[in-house]
Amino acid sequence: MVRTIEATRPISESIPTPPKIKVSLKINGDLKQLQIAPWTSLLDLLRDTLDLTGTKKGCDHGQCGACTVLVDGRRVNSCLTLAVMKDGSEVTTIEGLMADGKLHALQQAFIDHDAFQCGYCTPGQICSAAGLLAEGKAHTAEEIRELMSGNICRCGAYPNIVAAIQQAMSAMGGNS
């Protein structure tokens, strides 16, 4: 039962989809020239077009943090970011955190402290934590908890996430 609706549909009647726009993005260090429809979120661009599926979709409405990536060094929800609006930006995803084949201190700390179970919120947690370290505003466990509250972990690994971030903070010479 193959359907051939595409072929039989009169072109004149069709409702067009938005024209794609040329966008350049530096993703995990690679400069990419892309053609992107305006309605495509940065999250869908990463997952569906670029096959960078480490960034997760948990709600698509900025309510869970699973899609957190770093744009120009700041943590944002990629689900509520239109990719075309980030033309010229640098995007770092979980796939871009390793350097020279070595895990980022946060990645190692998350393993050490069992700071995840199912692993689905984990890339977002780690990118969010990387953003938190860069901000330099969290010094106590209390402050880490508050500033990591935009990342929901349904498995309930929160205390281990805080411990992992504290470990990475000390490893990276920050204050904890």
**Site for other proteins, residues 5 to 64, rule: CB under 8 A:** 5-6, 9, 13-18, 21, 37-41, 44, 47-48, 51-64
Q: Which of 24, 30, 118, 170 binds other proteins (CB under 8 A)?
A: 118
74-113 binders of other proteins (CB under 8 A): 74-77, 80-82, 84-85, 93-95, 97-98, 103, 107-108, 110-112
Please, what is the minimum distance in Å from the beta carbon of residue 115 to other proteins? 9
Whole-angstrom distance, CA of residue 55 vs CA of residue 10? 39
Q: Which residues contact 111 (CB under 8 A, 6 or more apart)?
A: 103
Please, what is the minimum distance in Å from the beta carbon of residue 80 to other proteins? 5
132-151 binders of other proteins (CB under 8 A): 132, 135, 137, 140, 142-151
Whole-angstrom distance, CA of residue 78 vs CA of residue 69? 6
CB 128 within 8 A of CB 73: no
Does 156 bind other proteins (CB under 8 A)? Our answer is yes
Q: 3-state SS string over 128-153? A: HHHHHHHHCCCCCHHHHHHHCCCCCC
Please, what is the minimum distance in Å from the beta carbon of residue 156 to other proteins? 3
Whole-angstrom distance, CA of residue 175 vs CA of residue 20? 46
Please, what is the minimum distance in Å from the beta carbon of residue 114 to other proteins? 5
Whole-angstrom distance, CA of residue 35 vs CA of residue 20? 5
CB nearer to other proteins: pick between 56 and 167: 56
Count of residues of this chain found to bind other proteins when the rule CB under 8 A is applied: 95
Does 176 bind other proteins (CB under 8 A)? Our answer is no
Whole-angstrom distance, CA of residue 35 vs CA of residue 161? 37
